[in-house]
Amino acid sequence: MRKIWPKSKQKPPARPTARRSLASAELNRNFGDLVYDLFYSVLWNHKGARALYLQLWRQLDREIGDGKSEFQKHSRAWVLQSAIELLVRSHEKHGRALSPSEQVMLDANLNIPARLRQFDSYLHKLNVQDQILLLLRDKYGLPYAEVASSLRMPEGSLRIKHQQALRSLEEWLWDRT
């Protein structure tokens, strides 16, 4: 698949420093950009992505402070699990659905270059789990094992789900009928 993923235009918001633990600060430094870009890519909304981003780090600060995650402090999969759970729960509230005019445009017989320019819209026709899967695996290049751990599903099932999501996108993008 061609590299056609758009870049997020904004940086993650600065986190308040008041109650930040050292472990949380390191996690934010290592994975903050990835998490923010994931939030924005799914929500299409900087305000919602920012609110979710700050909420995630407050939640992780509490968990690290309570000692619940002692063995997981430096794990990208653990951070992504928390981020994905939060993202899926809030997708209905902050997510951007395709407008009727966008849906009509996507259903119109566009030429292939025009379809590729509308890649984000086609991606958002997928359900939120499939969007997250494709972003983690294809945009960010995470290995299947880590994506499976982040989404809490068996790796074999994840590979099948990945192929199905890619086929759906392929049908929408390359359909010549």
Domains of the chain: 20-96 (no CATH), 97-177 (1.10.10.10)
CB 21 within 8 Å of CB 53:
no
- Which of 12-16, 90-94, 147-151 tops mean pLDDT? 147-151
CA-to-CA separations, 99 to 130, 146, 150, in angstroms, rounded: 20, 34, 30
pLDDT in tens, 130-146: 999 999 999 999 999 99
The pTM assigned to this predicted structure is 0.77
Bigger pLDDT: 21 vs 28:
28
pLDDT in tens, 94-112: 666 677 777 777 667 677 7
> Residue 17 pLDDT > 50, yes or no?
no
> Residue 15 pLDDT > 70, yes or no?
no
When pLDDT is cut at 50, 70 and 90, the band that residue 65 belongs to is confident
When pLDDT is cut at 50, 70 and 90, the band that residue 7 belongs to is low
